[in-house]
Chain A
């Protein structure tokens, strides 16, 4: 799981990225950003040429969450035969490398790792996929307009826990190796593609990081927000006014790399066989908490909406020391009601003391 081991650094020229991807493709599946109708999207690539390596506004649209926790995932299959019911789990064993992951998404993964192993209860569907993935980070020299990872302490460069992180030095990338998995895809048969890190790498990296940090346009002071939630200082009317703009699209959870809610349903193929899926869910839906008999503990849109923020910024922070928001800004794009994380945090902060 990408433990930090003795950090080793190398470099790779930009010309060598495609050959590197091509070499990895010979051994494993590779997911990389692709351009499609103007959108930049992570997808499985069949050839190194498909990867989009030019500059684009970060982060890519839709996070890598769906490669670990798919929108709709078959978790088991059942068959009813003469000898009774037989249940078979369906756990994905596919090995893959994910290239070009941004620090926000990467931090979100480490957050999900905590969630899916919490309380000694391990989610095999998620963890198997995690185990089978090697992640190549790409540090952000220029944040996108909705990004605020720097205030969520999740970027623009990943600090720990990565397998490999690339830092754009112009003609070449600095290659930071952070785990045995990272070693495996930078050493051995791949070693020839790399060269030693440049002399001034550390200073240059530091400069680039500072420069990047200076370019954030969205300011979200998450720790003050968390404090205010804990002290119960946010007036109900704020929640009321925001919640009534919710269009119930579910988008905020679907795009969020830290949202882990799911629903479980069975699908019958016939009387004798079927399968069980889990799907993404969203705590702002009324049916999320509706109980048999019609009682709904969070019957009001306001309560459901508040829950989303309390959960991300308060409860999860208390439990894991990390917030359920890494500042990727995707909910800002997807929320039709314009009541995304950044806007809510700003409104809470503007409410004075």
Chain B
């Protein structure tokens, strides 16, 4: 019987400071025989030994092999410890877990990404995959909002790389936006893109307060609920549907999610 709770040892290869409280970690398995197989939208249970485990979305694209990238916000004891680590340090990984984005359903469509804050992390995985496999998709549009310009993650990609293959618009809640000047909530960007609602699928990810607003605005723009895709976050302890922490009604975010369509989310009206 395979032990579900046994992490594989991995090593931090590179670290980049994305914002004052977000770092991106490039990670490789310690045993070269181990390979990463994952889909965009999945997550790992990351062990920092002595501090426990936390679910972290994969932010690298499965099209780029040999490593994974994790963007982590310093939010508590485990993440703080991770932020103290240097390249070469060892962590544990279990996974990948979760359903991932429904690639099959997205094929042939225009993709509209709406991200807020660190929520761009799971989107980035799919964005880079779509860019790498551009022929599979129509237009790629990226709307990204952060609290301030300093809080923007993946700045090089947002301000340069992605702009070569996709339409990118950013905004900040307050202060100056050095990327393209917009100030305001991410919802204010929606009217700025002209989309063909029949041909577009949108993927939304961000803080819990942002998601409901974006989803209802998209719905008002005429997108079908099944074409609006989002990820949900819950307190998780196992990642394998055993600890019971992450349920929303009868659904388990670790197993049935974290990716859900707006149509599915509407069925989970009750929060218990």
Pairing of A with B: yes
- Cα A322 to Cα B82 in complex, Å, equals 42
Number of interface residues of B (CB under 8 A): 43
- Cα A118 to Cα B53 in complex, Å, equals 22
**Which residue from A260, A268, A311 sits with its C-beta under 8 Å from B247?**
A311
Answer whether residue A274 sits at the interface, using C-beta atoms and an 8 A cutoff: yes
The interface size bin for chain A is: 35 or more
A85 with B4, Cβ < 8 A, contacts A260-B242, A263-B243, A318-B250 known: no
Determine how close the nearest CB of chain A comes to the CB of B230; give it in whole angstroms: 15
B243 with A264: CB separation less than 8 A: yes
Answer whether residue B9 sits at the interface, using C-beta atoms and an 8 A cutoff: yes
A87 with B235: CB separation less than 8 A: no
- Cα A319 to Cα B252 in complex, Å, equals 12
A297 with B248: CB separation less than 8 A: yes
Question: DSSP class of A's interface residues: helix, strand, loop or mixed?
Answer: mixed
Chain A positions within 8 Å of B75 at CB level: 292-293
Answer whether residue A91 sits at the interface, using C-beta atoms and an 8 A cutoff: yes
Answer whether residue B238 sits at the interface, using C-beta atoms and an 8 A cutoff: yes
Determine how close the nearest CB of chain A comes to the CB of B80; give it in whole angstroms: 11
B272 with A85: CB separation less than 8 A: no
**Which residue from A116, A125, A295, A304 sits with its C-beta under 8 Å from B272?**
A304
Answer whether residue A349 sits at the interface, using C-beta atoms and an 8 A cutoff: no
B49 with A78: CB separation less than 8 A: yes
**Which residue from A122, A292, A306, A311 sits with its C-beta under 8 Å from B76?**
A292
- Cα A278 to Cα B52 in complex, Å, equals 11
Give 1 or 0 for each of A301-329: 1 = CB within 8 Å of chain B CB: 00110110011001100110000000000
Q: Which of A91, A291, A303 has the most CB of B within 10 A?
A: A291
A87 with B50: CB separation less than 8 A: no
Answer whether residue B51 sits at the interface, using C-beta atoms and an 8 A cutoff: yes
Chain A positions within 8 Å of B235 at CB level: 288-291
- Cα A27 to Cα B235 in complex, Å, equals 44
Answer whether residue B244 sits at the interface, using C-beta atoms and an 8 A cutoff: yes
B50 with A266: CB separation less than 8 A: yes
Determine how close the nearest CB of chain B comes to the CB of A301; give it in whole angstroms: 11
A123 with B4: CB separation less than 8 A: yes
A266 with B49: CB separation less than 8 A: yes
A315 with B249, Cβ < 8 A, contacts A115-B242, A297-B271 known: yes
Closest to B250 in A: A315
Give 1 or 0 for each of A68-111: 1 = CB within 8 Å of chain B CB: 00000001101010001101010100000000000000000000
**Which residue from A261, A262, A264, A314 sits with its C-beta under 8 Å from B52?**
A264
A295 with B250, Cβ < 8 A, contacts A121-B240, A127-B1 known: no
Within 8 A of A (CB), among B204-253: 207-209, 233-235, 237-238, 240-245, 247-250
Answer whether residue A167 sits at the interface, using C-beta atoms and an 8 A cutoff: no
Answer whether residue A168 sits at the interface, using C-beta atoms and an 8 A cutoff: no
Closest to A126 in B: B242
Give 1 or 0 for each of A259-283: 1 = CB within 8 Å of chain B CB: 0111111101001001010100101
Determine how close the nearest CB of chain B comes to the CB of A79; give it in whole angstroms: 9
Determine how close the nearest CB of chain A comes to the CB of B12; give it in whole angstroms: 12
B250 with A85: CB separation less than 8 A: no
- Cα A319 to Cα B250 in complex, Å, equals 8
B234 with A87: CB separation less than 8 A: no
Give 1 or 0 for each of B21-54: 1 = CB within 8 Å of chain A CB: 0000000001000000000000000000111110
Q: List 6 A-B contacts (CB under 8 A).
A: A84-B30, A89-B6, A123-B4, A264-B5, A291-B235, A297-B271
Q: A residues near B, CB below 8 A?
A: 75-76, 78, 80, 84-85, 87, 89, 91, 115-116, 118-119, 121-125, 127-128, 260-266, 268, 271, 274, 276, 278, 281, 283, 288-293, 295, 297-298, 303-304, 306-307, 310-311, 314-315, 318-319
